[in-house]
Amino acid sequence: MDKKIEKHSNEECTQPSEHFNANNSLESSLKDAKIDFNRMIDATSTSTSEVLQEFIPTTEIKGMEDFIPESNYYAYYDQSSNSNVKIEREFDIDFPENLNVYSYEIGNNSSFESPKKGSTGVFNYYLMDGGSLLPVLALDLRPNTTFLDICAAPGGKSMLALQTLYPNIITSNDCSKSRVDRIYNVYKQFIFDFDEKFLKTGKVVLSQRDGRFIKNDTYDRILVDVPCTTDRHSLKENDNNIFKPSRIKERLKLPELQSELLFNALKLVNKGGIVVYSTCTLSPIQNDGVVHIVLKRICEESNMKIIIKDISPALLQARSLFKLASPKLMRYGHLVLPCSTQNFGPTYFCKLQRIE
């Protein structure tokens, strides 16, 4: 039976070009393709999550500025590569005598009551995720040390460091006035007589600087608790969620920002000093991946010598409170995993010591 093909009005049949090459790849074809700029979307002006770039293939995304795709970081983080970094195991972790921490037992998901003000006008305790305790303990704070919290807002980890009574000077830094104001408010709510007069004593220093570009300062201990995808927050709340399409470029640039903060902290810490890198995400790239990128950069660009401190043996005692990921899953750091009976985290942290 013969088949007839009808040609619709205003359409023309096109024949393959005589130069057509069936073996051309999609990538080579894209080099000569014309971009329809009318289809581009300014994600910053969208008000819903249902925008076109959610469905664009992830080969390339055209935007208003260049950024580094997350896939590039997976290429940098090659598990088979040898960074020649020494890893030392630690079998003990100090719990400061003056630091009091309270938690419900495993399986008890009760909530603590909101803190109340006492006779001195300050709140009686500070509520925070239990996983946030471990990065501060990993710093191994000692009497008369100088401590920098390079991304301190809202100030909970700086408060923990202060409550140990160990550091001689605590510098709580962040990159914007609004964030530094949040730190100030936390101190004022929980420390009696905290005001400008208190700040003049020099025990606590509030600093507004971009942590990537701090220079000429030196510290014995530095906490690099970086901005990240904040998985628990992103899961529970829509407001300010970094997974919003309007923040796609910000999210993809996070590992770059995180690695720059960690690299600069390792330059600022004194010889023999300790830097702890921490996040509240499960992302391998933002966790071990960033540490790997920085160690690689140190090897290529500086004379610094860094030791990774594997505190897995010391953390065995913490398993009565935290669910910790298997050390086999990570190369450099440690990870607190949320679960129904031990609902802390996620918290990743890695302890690094500069020896030269």
Dihedral, CA atoms, 283, 288, 293, 299, nearest 10 degrees?
Answer: 180
115 among annotated binding-site residues: no
325 among annotated binding-site residues: no
Cite the DSSP H helix spans in 95-140: 133-138
Say whether pLDDT at 150 is over 80.
Answer: yes
Q: Any idea where the domains of the chain sit in the sequence?
A: 130-354
CA-based R_g, the chain, Å: 25
- DSSP letters along 234-258, please? HHH--TT-TTSGGGHHHHHTHHHHH
pLDDT for the residue 195: 87
Q: 130-354 falls under which CATH superfamily?
A: Vaccinia Virus protein VP39 (3.40.50.150)
Q: Render pLDDT for 284-319 as a digit per residue (tens, 0 to 9).
A: 999 999 999 999 999 999 999 999 999 999 999 999
pLDDT for the residue 24: 61
CA distance 148 to 170: 6
339 among annotated binding-site residues: no
Contact 109, 175 (CB under 8 A): no
pLDDT for the residue 27: 66
Q: What are 295's two structure tokens?
A: 């160690």
Selected catalytic residue, list 228, 280, 299, 339: 280
CB-count burial class (<10 Å; 0-12, 13-18, 19+) for 278: buried
Q: What value, to the nearest 5°, has the Cα angle with vertex 121 and ends 115 and 124?
A: 30
273 among annotated binding-site residues: no
157 among annotated binding-site residues: yes
pLDDT for the residue 113: 93
32 among annotated binding-site residues: no
Count other C-beta atoms under 10 Å from residue 166's C-beta. Answer: 22
Establish whether 280 is a catalytic residue. Answer: yes
Q: Render pLDDT for 224-274 as a digit per residue (tens, 0 to 9).
A: 999 998 877 666 666 666 666 666 677 778 999 999 999 999 999 999 999
Say whether pLDDT at 41 is over 80.
Answer: no
CB-count burial class (<10 Å; 0-12, 13-18, 19+) for 29: exposed
